[in-house]
């Protein structure tokens, strides 16, 4: 066991973890962040996606100890100001959510994309979520939602 310190959704956080413990396990079991999902446990599905310094990572493949000193974001961050992020808003409106199991991971991959690329084209969007499997939606309404959210974010930042 050792104690790690990191920023979780904007807040300084400390938690004791085992040496071989995954970040997924630490978040879900020790910190109660159940929005981070486990779909496969071996880096093949993307439902466990979190942002490490704003880059998407599979938390099932990330050692918790590697989070030490880093900035970790889960989907809770997106609405931490009390209002829905334009991406969340767009996911709700565009029918991008069916069973919803992939949704938190999708949102984080999309959020990371928009940080780097405010004006993504269709291919950029497809690529950004290509590591997140969804068995329900066929991805199309998710891609529409990301496109719509990008527009809104652009307007917000210009306005």
Q: Which of residues 134-153 bind other proteins (CB under 8 A)?
A: 134-143
We find the least distance from the C-beta atom of residue 43 to other proteins, in angstroms, to be 9
Contact between 138 and ligand FES per CB under 6 A: no
Contact between 74 and ligand FES per CB under 6 A: no
CA dist 94 and 138 (Å) reads 13
Burial tier of 57 (Cβ tally within 10 Å: 0-12, 13-18, 19+) = buried
End-to-end CA distance of the chain: 48
3 state SS of 158: helix
CA within 13 Å, CB half, 42:
0
Contact between 61 and other proteins per CB under 8 A: no
Quick one: which segment of 81-89, 100-108, 113-121, 144-152 binds ligand FES (CB under 6 A)? 100-108
Quick one: which segment of 49-57, 63-71, 111-119, 124-132 binds other proteins (CB under 8 A)? 124-132
Residue closer to ligand FES (CB basis): 7 or 98: 98
**Of 9, 18, 60, nearest in space to 37 by CA:** 60
Q: Name the site residues for ligand FES (rule: CB under 6 A).
A: 38-41, 43-48, 58, 60, 98-102, 134-137
């Amino acid at each position: 066991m050792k104690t790690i310190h990191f920023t979780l959704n904007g807040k300084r956080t400390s938690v004791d973890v085992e040496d071989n413990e995954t970040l997924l396990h630490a978040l879900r079991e020790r910190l109660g962040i159940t929005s981070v999902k486990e779909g496969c446990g071996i880096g093949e599905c993307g439902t466990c996606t979190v942002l490490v310094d704003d880059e998407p990572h599979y938390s099932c493949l990330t050692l918790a100890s590697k989070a030490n000193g880093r900035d970790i974001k889960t989907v809770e961050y997106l609405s931490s100001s009390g209002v829905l992020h334009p991406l969340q808003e767009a996911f709700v409106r565009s029918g991008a959510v069916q069973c919803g199991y992939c949704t938190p991971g999708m949102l984080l991959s999309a959020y990371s994309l928009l940080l780097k690329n405010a004006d993504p084209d269709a291919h950029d969007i497809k690529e950004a979520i290509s590591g997140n499997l969804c068995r329900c939606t066929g991805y199309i309404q998710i891609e529409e939602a990301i496109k719509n959210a990008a527009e809104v974010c652009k307007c917000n930042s210009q306005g």
